[in-house]
Amino acid sequence: MPLRRDTLLALVALLFSGLVQPLISAPHNLYWLHPWALAPGLYVLCQLSAKRAFFGGWLMGMAANLGIFYWFAETVSVFGKLPYVVGLAALLLFAAVASLYSAFFGWGLGYLRAVSGPAWPFAAAAWFVTCEFLNPQLFPYYHGISLYRVPELFLVTSVTGVLGLSFQMILWNLLLVAAAEHRRGIGRLNRRGWQVSALVVAVMFAATLGISAWQSGRIEAAEAQASSLRIAIVQPNLDIPERRRIRAAGAARRHVEQSRAALETNPEIDVFLWSEGALRRSPSDSANLPVFEFIRESRREIWTGARTVEQIEGEKRFYNAAYLLRRDGSIGKRYDKIKLLPFGEYVPFVDLFPVLGRLPGTSHFTAGERVTLLDSETSARASFLICYEAILREFVRRNIPDQANLIVNITYDAWFGDTSCASQHLMMAAARSAELGMPMVRAATTGISAFVDARGVITHQTAPFTEETLVADVRPVRVPTLYGTLGDWFPSSATLVSLSLLLVYVIRNSRGGL
């Protein structure tokens, strides 16, 4: 039986608003699509019953997540040494689960509209933020992140966090939906409603610009008082086969050779930054002797990742660690990664199901306990974040020490292949600088390595899968932010409002008021 024309158009609208989202995300960064491109799908959801809107929201989310996270299939296949078809199945499962938050948004949209009157676009935007906020995400991609290359707007995250911009992006789309309904004679906003809405949106936009300009000015003043530090990020481009081929001693030599060449052309370098797992064994292992020869010769600090093994009570424990190697050749403070990647660095429920420990591609690292402050002899009071720890907004906010003025993010992204994941990973990490008012230096073995200033602006970056040494001056600063102090106050408030409105709907409906 052929689809009815209106059903077909609804499906096209939902799929369009889903499939356009990968273009909004990195590496394409077509952020100007965001304020309007979701409107067709949202319009459809507004016309559906709760059950159909649940499916419609899930379909729109599925289209978006398959496009944004398509690299998940290759990662599972390469990392787990599994057939690609298994990776595809994992991608479908991941996207299906990740799309549930947009399904719940669709389900509740009609109820919010029923009780919020002319203010329904604002209530619905709050409900979207609620669903995004409460959604447990392995890779926390939020809609507000799309503006990360527009500091004139993005710096409002220093107050609201990224979810504050999610609210604004969805609100703009919902106001377009309201305009389309008004034109068709089914709108819920009268003339006064439009006037009030326009005033509120104008004030919100002006506040976003004003807060961003104010925070940028504070950062500029702090940078003017800070001393400069020249850092060289070494990106040796050791992909998976090459890293396995040259082993621990070869990896150490490659980093030393590249660092020595950089120092010859730029003798003002203060610190060398090497990436996650740059040292394949503990720093004191004999495979790393060339590293300490270079340190004693150059009198430069090296901040580096390293695999570390300890014998504790007769048990061997493995750590994904990071070290400061001092100018005199001694080993400074160590940081052990806290947020381990499920199945990649540890196996969930392995105590209950020991067979899971024999899955291919799995590792068994021990988690660290706290984020440490490096005892650097430079002006930097730096803290390490390893790999995807940097994209976990609340983890970073709660764990970076108050004294820190520089975030050091080291990662190994070769597992994702030559896909958009490296750009997305950098995008999500850079947001932490804007939220907390402090710069970031990021070393990735195969890219993308980058310097990010305290505004969240990526000032310098490498290309993926290239051998490069990126050198730039950094001014370590810490400009306190409201988000840094209060955390998720904005999405928590949106959750309180939207859930209260849903409760009002339930109470009214139970009394026959609707």
Give 28-77 pLDDT, tens digit per residue: 999 999 999 999 999 999 999 999 999 999 999 999 999 999 999 988 88
The pLDDT assigned to 279 comes to 95
Using a pLDDT cut of 90, give the percent of the chain over it: 76
In 3D space, the residue among 62, 58, 19 whose CA is nearest the CA of residue 38 turns out to be 19
Inside any domain, residue 488 = no
* Interval 284-293 mean pLDDT: 93
261 with 192, same domain? Answer: no
Judged by phi (left if over 0) then psi (alpha if -120 to 50, else beta), residue 133 lies in alpha
Sheet of strand 271-273: strand arrangement: 331-336, 315-325, 301-312, 271-273, 229-235, 468-474
> What pLDDT, in 10s, does the model give residues 491-511?
999 999 999 999 999 998 877
248 with 112, same domain? Answer: no
Look at residues 191, 221, 251 and tell me which one is the last residue of a structural domain.
221
d(CA 45, CA 55): 9
148 with 279, same domain? Answer: no
Inside any domain, residue 32 = yes
Per-residue confidence band for 513, with pLDDT thresholds at 50, 70 and 90: very low
Return the minimum-mean-pLDDT range out of 176-185, 259-268, 270-279, 396-405.
176-185
Q: Is 215 exposed, middle or buried (0-12, 13-18, 19+ CB in 10 A)?
A: buried
Inside any domain, residue 158 = yes
The pLDDT assigned to 365 comes to 81
Using a pLDDT cut of 70, give the percent of the chain over it: 94
In 3D space, the residue among 269, 275, 277 whose CA is nearest the CA of residue 294 turns out to be 269
Q: Is 191 exposed, middle or buried (0-12, 13-18, 19+ CB in 10 A)?
A: exposed
d(CA 242, CA 44): 50
d(CA 51, CA 107): 6
The pLDDT assigned to 94 comes to 93
Return the minimum-mean-pLDDT range out of 3-12, 278-287, 489-498.
3-12
215 with 240, same domain? Answer: no
The pLDDT assigned to 508 comes to 86
Most confident range (mean pLDDT) of 113-122, 354-363, 476-485 is 476-485
d(CA 288, CA 274): 13
> What pLDDT, in 10s, does the model give residues 188-228?
777 777 788 889 999 999 999 999 999 999 999 999 999 99
Look at residues 221, 251, 282 and tell me which one is the last residue of a structural domain.
221
Return the minimum-mean-pLDDT range out of 97-106, 314-323, 436-445.
314-323
Residue with tokens 């804007």: 434
What is the pairing mode between strands 468-474 and 229-235? Answer: antiparallel
Q: How far is CA 225 from CA 20, 222, 276, 443, 504, in A?
A: 43, 5, 31, 26, 53
Inside any domain, residue 493 = no
211 with 287, same domain? Answer: no
In 3D space, the residue among 489, 444, 492, 495 whose CA is nearest the CA of residue 470 turns out to be 444
197 with 232, same domain? Answer: no
The pLDDT assigned to 5 comes to 80
Checking if the pLDDT of 1 tops 80, the result is no
Return the minimum-mean-pLDDT range out of 213-217, 248-252, 366-370, 444-448.
366-370
Domain count, the chain: 2
Checking if the pLDDT of 138 tops 50, the result is yes
46 with 192, same domain? Answer: yes
Per-residue confidence band for 350, with pLDDT thresholds at 50, 70 and 90: low
Inside any domain, residue 505 = no
pLDDT averaged over the chain? Answer: 91
For residue 320, give the 3-state DSSP assignment: strand
212 with 238, same domain? Answer: no
Query: Residue 274 belongs to a domain with what CATH number?
Result: 3.60.110.10
Residues 6+ apart with CB under 8 A from 493: none
The pLDDT assigned to 355 comes to 55
Look at residues 201, 221, 241 and tell me which one is the last residue of a structural domain.
221
d(CA 336, CA 35): 41
In 3D space, the residue among 314, 318, 309, 315 whose CA is nearest the CA of residue 344 turns out to be 318
78 with 132, same domain? Answer: yes
- pTM summary value: 0.92
198 with 310, same domain? Answer: no
Q: How far is CA 388 from CA 63, 188, 340, in A?
A: 24, 43, 9
> What pLDDT, in 10s, does the model give residues 400-452?
999 999 999 999 998 888 899 999 999 999 999 999 999 999 999 998 999 99
Inside any domain, residue 483 = no
Tokens coding 97: 């689960």
354 with 302, same domain? Answer: yes
Provide the domain limits for residue 194: 5-221
263 with 349, same domain? Answer: yes
* Interval 281-297 mean pLDDT: 93
CB 334 within 8 A of CB 308: yes
Inside any domain, residue 512 = no
d(CA 84, CA 72): 11
User: What's the full length of the chain, in residues?
Assistant: 514
Inside any domain, residue 501 = no
Tokens coding 449: 């390595």
